[in-house]
Structure 1
């Protein structure tokens, strides 16, 4: 079974603000790609990094580790966190640390 690739789209929102839109699997094989992308935008002057996880189909412990590494070196907010990943972040105590933006007005919303 072939591993799904991770794609990272870089959106420069304005001076110092960047959004990384991830799609695919954030795992052992692809976690270094996230770290490298965050380092690249930081070198380009990013001071506010938003990581959109809407398109992430799978996140394993290596993916979580990459999110923590990126958090340690940048101001990071996570958006588009689906129910499965939200549960994983809650169980590991990373929801607050990583600045997960929750949907407004009462909980999880259906993806779509």
Structure 2
């Protein structure tokens, strides 16, 4: 599948960055999330939140990117949280048991609580 993904910075205050994603998170588009997430974590933030409410598709490349950013955040003493997952994204995350590894939150506001 190929579809346009947009990644925008919804909030960034030096401690927390929220990246808002929209579109399809597939092998052709995951580099956008990876680059934005790595840049945010390199800035020294404590919390990276991915707002996934407008993501309509996620393949194994997207899942790999979530795991990569989770590991990178942990290595830097930060935290990655995923917010507003809906089917089909929530379904694929649960099927591969990533809901046991990743911090999932029903809303962005909930994910922002430190």
Q: Does TM-score exceed 0.5, indicating one fold?
A: yes
TM-score where L is the length of structure 2:
0.81
> Which consecutive residues of structure 2, in runs of 5 or more, have no partner in the other structure?
74-78, 108-114
Equivalent residues, number:
102
How far is 1:47 from its partner? 1.6
Over residues 3-35 of structure 1, what are the superposed CA-to-partner deviations in whole Å (9 max), with x where a residue is unaligned? 321100112343310000000110001111111
Over residues 51-99 of structure 1, what are the superposed CA-to-partner deviations in whole Å (9 max), with x where a residue is unaligned? 0111101100111111110111111000010032212111101012111
TM-score where L is the length of structure 1:
0.83
After TM superposition, which residue ranges in structure 1, 4 or more long, deviate above 3 angstroms? Answer: none
The alignment partner of 1:62 has SS state of helix
Counting only pairs closer than 5 Å after superposition, residues 1-112 of structure 1 correspond to structure 2 as 3-74=2-73, 75-102=79-106
Structure whose alpha-carbon radius of gyration is higher: 1
RMSD of equivalent CA atoms: 1.6
The alignment partner of 2:21 has SS state of strand
Over residues 34-58 of structure 1, what are the superposed CA-to-partner deviations in whole Å (9 max), with x where a residue is unaligned? 1110111112222200001111011
> Which consecutive residues of structure 1, in runs of 5 or more, have no partner in the other structure?
104-112
Instruction: Tell me, in whole angstroms, the C-alpha distance in 2 between the residues paired with 1:102 and 1:43.
Output: 26
